[in-house]
Structure 1
Amino acid sequence: MTNRADSLSSEHTLLAHLGIEIVEASGTRVVATMPVDARTHQPMGLLHGGASVALAESVASIGAYLSVADQGLTAVGLEINANHLRGVRAGTVTATATPIHQGRTTQVWQIDIADEQGRAVCTSRCTLAIIPMPAGS
């Protein structure tokens, strides 16, 4: 499987701020980790649901982009949903994204986020629009 994670720069982005690291990236599978710490906590000391959603949309967007970039196209989010299944206070969560549908104008990706013991933390589905790469990108 091709790993194109090294070609993706996340410096000065939400990914960098949240500590998200891309472990594996291709147009058919993306895996990333995110720490559960002060950056990603909600006030009760648990992983913030919004941080999980940011992780989910990030891995789906990267995968969709990688699947169409060689055609001069990119992917932008249209819709995302998430079910938060388990609270996490510390450690690292891992997101795995795989496509459900890769069409000409839209893609749908399934994202599963697990804790360090492999237990389900969040499951998400993200729909992306496939558009021409903006000039200057």
Structure 2
Amino acid sequence: MLRPDVTIASLHERQQGTLPGLFGLTVTELAEGRLLAEFKLQDWMRAPNGFLHAASVITLADSCCGYACRAHLPDGAKGFTTIELKSNFLGTALDGTIRCIAEAEHLGRTTQVWSAVVTGPAEQGSRKMALFRCTQMVLW
């Protein structure tokens, strides 16, 4: 179940001065078992080879899954930490807005597992750019 104290506004407030905030991450939907977010690509997010840096894509996917985990923590839990993550990169983008949808695979009392799909800009066909999965350990 969604925690009533975690809202899109509270997630945006919490990210100020942190990596997702610096990337301009915007949560666009928070619902039972899922979260959607996006950010606009900027030149500084590229690697020296000119392509979008993998860490930029992971920032979006990992933040989506983390925010979703926070919103779904069991009553009494103090927080969470990532204990495993994996990403498969399928493509890239150089400009526009990339989006991510995170969906719950497992919402347990000690762990949560989230899957995410990052897609490229709508004006470029919204192609899948990355598949992502992470496991979060619930902290008590």
Instruction: Indicate whether the TM-score tops 0.5.
Output: yes
CA distance in 1, matches of 2:50, 2:133: 25
TM-aligned CA distance change 1:26 to 1:11, over 3 Å = same
Name the counterpart of 1:135.
none
Once the two structures are superposed, the pairs formed by residues 50-65 of structure 1 within 5 Å of their partners are: 50-65=55-70
2:82, 2:134 within 8 Å by CA — same for their partners in 1? yes
Q: CA deviation at 1:69?
A: 6.0
Partner of 1:120: 128
RMSD after superposition: 1.9
For 2:44 and 2:118, how far apart are their aligned partners in 1?
Answer: 17
TM-superposition CA deviations, 1:3-48 (whole Å, max 9, x none):
8211112110101111211112245111110222123211122211
Q: Does 1:46 align with 2:51?
A: yes
CA drift of 1:76 comes to 1.3
* TM-score, normalisation: structure 1: 0.87
- Structure 1, unaligned stretches of length 5 or more? 133-137
How far is the alpha carbon of 1:112 from its aligned partner?
0.2
Which region of structure 1 is more displaced relative to structure 2, 72-81 or 101-110? 72-81
Unaligned runs of 5+ in 2: none
Task: Write the distance in 1 (CA, Å) between the matches of 2:48 and 2:18.
Answer: 23
Native 8 Å contact 2:40 2:96 kept in 1: yes
Q: CA, structure 1 residues 19+69, in 2 after alignment: closer, same or farther (shift >3 Å)? A: farther
Question: C-alpha distance in 1, partners of 2:65/2:19?
Answer: 15
- In structure 1, the residue matched to 2:113 is 108
For the Cα contact (< 8 Å) 2:92–2:120, is it kept in 1?
Answer: no
State, as a whole percentage, how many aligned pairs show the same letter. 26
Tell me the distance in 2 between the aligned counterparts of 1:47 and 1:34.
13
Give the corresponding residue for 1:21: 26
- Secondary structure of the residue aligned to 2:43 is coil
2:7 corresponds, among 4, 27, 33, to: 4
Structure 1 segments of 4+ aligned residues over 4 angstroms from their partners = none
Contact 1:26 1:67 in 2 (8 A): no
- Contact conserved, 1:40 with 1:47, CA < 8 A, in 2? yes
| CA distances 1:47-68 after superposition (whole Å, capped 9, x unpaired) | 1111111211111111111111
Q: TM-score, normalised by structure 2?
A: 0.85
